């Protein structure tokens, strides 16, 4: 939900909160436990240095040096859309945290509407359509979409990069980094 910022026309730091701030919401709004934990995991995942993890793969280093930095999320998201059965449930209901962040009900409704096709039919095309609508002329998102289309259209490159990057191992590394944070330990002991 932090990426609702594009709809709400907010800066990243207004929705990608510090872990301390997110954890404070557990005491303030205990009824939103699952939402808060999901929010925290999103923000913790964004803090993982994928470039550093991928740089550990000797055979992947030449690709890493020649590809734009924003290409790594494209590759990873493409892999997970192709290789993971996504089971996404969306409530699309306003809540106190979103109200505290000054995200209004209209923003929530718009976000819910544009993500719904992806949630009900996760695919490469529905993900790009979601991003295109979400970014509505945002140059950063447009670059991401162009990179994704180029990547998806080059089957050989995609297969080689998937193999060289060892994404299943990368996934384990990312999960390990998230679990090693103090913030994750705090939500793990607070069921």
Residue 2 lies in a domain: no
Residue 95 lies in a domain: yes
Q: How confident is the model at residue 188 (pLDDT cuts 50, 70, 90)?
A: confident
Residue 3 lies in a domain: no
**88 burial class (0-12, 13-18, 19+ CB within 10 angstroms)?**
exposed
How many other C-beta atoms lie within 10 A of the C-beta of residue 147? 19
Residue 168 lies in a domain: yes
Residue 81 lies in a domain: yes
**What domain range includes position 61?**
9-189
Residue 4 lies in a domain: no
Which pLDDT score, from 0 to 100, does residue 127 have? 86
What is the reported pTM? Answer: 0.84
| Domain count across the chain | 1
Reference 152, options 174, 130, 123, 131; nearest CA is 123
Q: How confident is the model at residue 191 (pLDDT cuts 50, 70, 90)?
A: low
Residue 185 lies in a domain: yes
């Amino acid at each position: 939900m932090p990426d609702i910022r594009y709809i709400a026309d907010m800066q990243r730091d207004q929705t990608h909160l510090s872990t301390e701030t997110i954890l404070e919401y557990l005491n303030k709004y205990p009824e939103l436990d699952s939402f808060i934990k999901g929010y925290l995991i999103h923000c913790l995942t964004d803090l993982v240095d994928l470039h550093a993890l991928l740089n550990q793969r000797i055979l992947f280093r030449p690709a890493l040096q020649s590809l734009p930095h924003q290409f790594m999320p494209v590759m990873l998201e493409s892999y997970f859309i192709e290789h993971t059965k996504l089971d996404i449930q969306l409530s699309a209901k306003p809540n106190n945290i979103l109200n505290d962040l000054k995200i209004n009900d209209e923003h929530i409704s718009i976000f819910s509407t544009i993500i719904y096709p992806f949630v009900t039919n996760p695919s490469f095309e529905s993900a790009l359509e979601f991003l295109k609508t979400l970014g509505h002329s945002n140059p950063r998102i447009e670059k991401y979409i162009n990179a994704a289309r180029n990547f998806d259209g080059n089957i050989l490159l995609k297969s080689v990069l998937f193999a060289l990057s060892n994404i299943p191992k990368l996934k384990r590394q990312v999960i390990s980094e998230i679990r090693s944070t103090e913030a994750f330990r705090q939500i793990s002991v607070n069921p």
